[in-house]
């Protein structure tokens, strides 16, 4: 029977993974509906815990941001995201506390718990700077990176503590071992590529470049669009006193960003398929083989969402699902890495 600390941590880890995934999806929903500055202060909303408090005092709204147009829907969307993120932070504090309290049982590494806690604290700071610096694209992408890192750490923790029955077949010969090593390396590379592609998607979204290529499979009617502006497309720092809501880039720069994201999607697709193929081909267990199939399935779902999103003229629900699909693909790659490591 597992120690009490391990049982509690496993359950908390699973709940935290689900909540973290929810926070990431809510963050995409906030970003896609231009609600990132629905509350121009942090951590409250116009000096109140809820937008309802601000609505009762119009003067308070005006004093916070003279001339600022208050939007109740955007304010509530922003605060719902913050409430969920706060709940996630509290769960991670609890995970860290249990890891320290039960350190003699060693249900998890205390160092790992502290790193997880530091990550979510840093993530909260990035959330504040996202508001204070007027949804600056660089900060928004770093905030997304922090969310994905938190999700990955929580999911890896859950995978590490999950009880599974493994039937491992003997691996015979240096050739078979070398093949498994190649599969592990390919899975790590593919996971990194998926992560970078997700961040590139965040850059595309926060610069309002998603609709720059409304056609498929071409972009602006060409296989290689003319007049793309790469000089301005990936400038990371443009100053602080700029409101990036609605975007500040001209159309040629947005086309360059979107087209680069498409090229990245091709590279990520090939990397995931190659890693999954190696894993399935050399799988010493059913668990490894299934992990490879799950990676291919998650990739297929994400590609379908991307195609449907463009063909249906970027409806909000599909754009939000595209962010969720990216997170699920990352989780599928983590499962593949874990199963190959166990093999």
User: Is residue 129 located within the same domain as residue 211?
Assistant: no
User: Is residue 137 located within the same domain as residue 189?
Assistant: no
User: Is residue 3 located within the same domain as residue 96?
Assistant: yes
> Can you give the pLDDT at residue 143?
97
User: Is residue 140 located within the same domain as residue 202?
Assistant: no
> Can you give the pLDDT at residue 174?
63
> Can you give the pLDDT at residue 265?
97
User: Is residue 132 located within the same domain as residue 176?
Assistant: no
User: Is residue 211 located within the same domain as residue 253?
Assistant: yes
Cis previous bond, 217, omega within 30: yes
User: Is residue 325 located within the same domain as residue 222?
Assistant: yes
User: Is residue 23 located within the same domain as residue 115?
Assistant: yes
> Can you give the pLDDT at residue 285?
80
| Candidates 62, 78, 250, 342; catalytic one | 78
Q: Pick from 114, 144, 163: which residue ends a domain?
A: 163
Domain that includes residue 218, residue range? 172-343
Active site residue 250: no
> Can you give the pLDDT at residue 61?
61
Angle between helices 316-342 and 251-281 (to 10 degrees): 30
Angle formed at CA 26 by CA 14 and CA 297, multiple of 5 degrees: 60
User: Which segments in the chain show pLDDT lower than 70?
Assistant: 1-5, 57-68, 163-176
Phi and psi torsions of 219, nearest 5°: -130, 120
**Among candidates 123, 98, 125, 124, which has minimal Cα distance to 113?**
98
User: Is residue 177 located within the same domain as residue 278?
Assistant: yes
> Can you give the pLDDT at residue 276?
97
User: Is residue 183 located within the same domain as residue 118?
Assistant: no
12 Cβ neighbours under 8 A, 6+ residues apart: 91, 94, 95, 98
> Can you give the pLDDT at residue 1?
45
User: Is residue 36 located within the same domain as residue 157?
Assistant: yes
Q: Pick from 163, 183, 210: which residue ends a domain?
A: 163
pLDDT tens-digit series, residues 113-140: 999 999 999 999 999 999 999 999 999 9
SS3 category, 69: coil
Q: Pick from 104, 128, 163: which residue ends a domain?
A: 163
Count of structural domains, the chain:
2
């Amino acid at each position: 029977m597992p120690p009490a600390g391990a049982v509690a941590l496993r359950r908390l880890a699973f709940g935290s993974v689900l909540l973290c995934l929810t926070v990431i999806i809510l963050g995409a929903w906030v970003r896609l509906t231009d609600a990132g500055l629905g509350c121009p202060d942090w951590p409250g909303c116009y000096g109140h815990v809820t937008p309802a408090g601000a609505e009762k005092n119009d003067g308070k709204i005006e004093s916070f941001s003279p001339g600022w147009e208050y939007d109740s829907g955007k304010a509530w969307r922003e605060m719902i995201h913050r409430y969920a993120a706060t709940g996630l932070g509290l769960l991670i504090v609890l995970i860290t506390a249990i890891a320290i309290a039960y350190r003699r049982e060693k249900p998890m590494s205390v160092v790992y718990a502290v790193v997880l806690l530091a990550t979510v604290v840093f993530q909260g700071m990035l959330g504040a700077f996202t508001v204070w610096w007027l949804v600056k694209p660089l900060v928004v992408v770093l905030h997304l990176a922090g969310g994905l890192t938190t999700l990955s750490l929580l999911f890896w923790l859950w995978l590490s503590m999950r009880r599974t029955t493994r039937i491992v077949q003997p691996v015979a010969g240096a050739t078979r071992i070398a093949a498994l090593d190649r599969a592990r390396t390919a899975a790590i590379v593919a996971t990194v590529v998926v992560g970078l592609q997700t961040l590139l998607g965040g850059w595309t979204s926060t610069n309002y470049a998603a609709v720059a290529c409304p056609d498929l499979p071409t972009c602006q009617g060409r296989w290689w669009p003319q007049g793309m502006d790469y000089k301005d497309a990936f400038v990371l720092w443009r100053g602080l006193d700029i409101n990036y809501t609605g975007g500040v880039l001209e159309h040629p720069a947005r086309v360059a960003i979107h087209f680069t994201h498409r090229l990245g999607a091709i590279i990520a697709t090939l990397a995931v398929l190659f890693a999954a193929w190696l894993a399935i081909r050399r799988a010493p267990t059913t668990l490894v083989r299934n992990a490879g199939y799950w990676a291919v399935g998650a990739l297929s779902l994400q590609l379908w969402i991307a195609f449907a999103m463009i063909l249906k003229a970027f409806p909000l629900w599909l754009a939000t699902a595209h962010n969720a699909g990216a997170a699920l693909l990352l989780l599928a790659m983590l499962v593949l890495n874990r199963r190959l490591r166990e093999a």
